Amino acid sequence: MKRDARVFVAGGTTLPGRALIDVLRAERFTRLVGIGADEPDVTDAAATEAFFAAARPEYVFLCAGKSGGIGLNRAYPVELMRDNLLATTNVLHAAHRAGTARLLYLASSCAYPKHAPQPLAVGALGTGPMEPTSEAYATAKFAGWKLCAAYRREYGCRFVTGFPANAFGPHDDFGADSGHVIPALIRRAHDAKVRGDAELVVWGTGTPRREFVYARDLARACLFVAENYEGDAPINLGGGTDVSIADVASAVADVVGFRGRIRFDAAHPDGAPLKALDSAPLREMGWRAEADFRAALAETYDWFLHHRATEGTGHARRAI
């Protein structure tokens, strides 16, 4: 990818979108288009078409669409599904019409069947029912992948789909009810510490396992794939190890400095029992995650401490 090519990150305020813009800037991409106030509302077809016709991005990273943790998925399946379907269909079509040279679409690991063999290899996609708590959102992500594949087949568009592991990092939604497990627990552990609570409540049994990827690593993986991968098959964007939610809760409590007891509340759902990606294809191309999990948690907490008053508090919910 030429460093002076026009690059558009659709969803520049999402967790992966923000990290991508930082990585692209660090890699000296000089012509990022549609940044900040210039970003069109990609759920609006006409605004998206007009933006693409004027800005003519050569490379597109499609990170747009609302997302959230298990709580948000259960409360707002319509908003999550609809927003992602609209954003994806609009951006893919506008990119096709504007002759975008290459596009990477970010799907989600929750589009895999709930009980697929682990680690999740892309061949398992579509082989069984999805986890019910996130089925609406995950179906939109699955459809996005299929639509990319359809544009590839029918129009020869160089659209590639990546399936990321559970991402976390600065600029996340730190809402106690709406966020993913790491930002939600950071908020709850921090509030519990400040109030001097005796216990921190963690949803579910603590036994599910997730593979986490630090947002900066995910952004690096996206750029790496855009520059090095041209296959028809989608590609998993992971490369870390899976961790139990109980271990995540202990690590968060430690980083935040919460010294009380951790209590698991099984009245909340566990969701999928295990989600770990088979990222061998990415590894074989030479890509490696760099972040250390604990250090990345500490960096994320540090960001939360400095920004929580203005940002990161229930983004997804507010936007809905």
The owner of tokens 């401490």 is: 305
When binding is defined by CB under 6 A, the residue of 65, 69, 175, 234 that contacts ligand GFB is 69
Q: Consult the annotation and say whether 180 binds a ligand.
A: yes
- CA–CA gap between residue 318 and residue 296 (Å, rounded): 26
When the beta carbons of 58 and 211 are compared against ligand GFB, the nearer one is 211
Q: How far is the CB of 60 from ligand GFB (least distance, A)?
A: 21
Strand partners, 199: 261
Residue 130 DSSP label: B
C-alpha dihedral (139, 278, 289, 131), degrees to nearest 10: 30
Alpha-helical segments (H) within the chain: 15-26, 45-55, 70-75, 77-98, 135-155, 181-195, 215-228, 245-256, 280-284, 293-307, 315-319
* Integer Rg of the chain from CA: 19
Q: Consult the annotation and say whether 41 binds a ligand.
A: no
Q: Considering 137, 214, 229, 301, which one is annotated as catalytic?
A: 137
The owner of tokens 């594949």 is: 149
| Interaction of residue 17 with ligand GFB, rule CB under 6 A | no
| Interaction of residue 70 with ligand GFB, rule CB under 6 A | yes
When the beta carbons of 110 and 219 are compared against ligand GFB, the nearer one is 110
Identify the CA nearest to 8 among candidates 45, 47, 65, 52: 52
- CA–CA gap between residue 78 and residue 80 (Å, rounded): 6
Helix (H) / strand (E) containing 143? helix 135-155
Q: How far is the CB of 224 from ligand GFB (least distance, A)?
A: 21
Q: How far is the CB of 101 from ligand GFB (least distance, A)?
A: 29
Q: How far is CA 88 from the centre of its chain?
A: 14
- CA–CA gap between residue 271 and residue 304 (Å, rounded): 26
Q: How far is the CB of 39 from ligand GFB (least distance, A)?
A: 22
When the beta carbons of 224 and 264 are compared against ligand GFB, the nearer one is 264
Stretch 90-129: interaction string toward ligand GFB, x if CB under 6 A: ------------------xxx-------------------
- CA–CA gap between residue 260 and residue 196 (Å, rounded): 8
When binding is defined by CB under 6 A, the residue of 208, 238, 240, 314 that contacts ligand GFB is 208
Q: Consult the annotation and say whether 203 binds a ligand.
A: yes
Q: Consult the annotation and say whether 141 binds a ligand.
A: yes
When binding is defined by CB under 6 A, the residue of 144, 271, 312, 314 that contacts ligand GFB is 271
Within 10 angstroms of residue 88's Cβ, the number of other Cβ atoms is 26
When binding is defined by CB under 6 A, the residue of 6, 102, 216, 275 that contacts ligand GFB is 275
Q: How far is the CB of 51 from ligand GFB (least distance, A)?
A: 27
| Interaction of residue 297 with ligand GFB, rule CB under 6 A | no
Active site (annotated) includes residue 137? yes
Residues that constitute the known binding site for NADP(+): 106-109, 141, 180
Catalytic residues: 137
Interface residues with ligand GFB (CB under 6 A) are 67, 69-71, 73, 108-110, 133-134, 137-138, 166, 180-181, 184-185, 202-204, 208, 210, 245, 268-272, 275
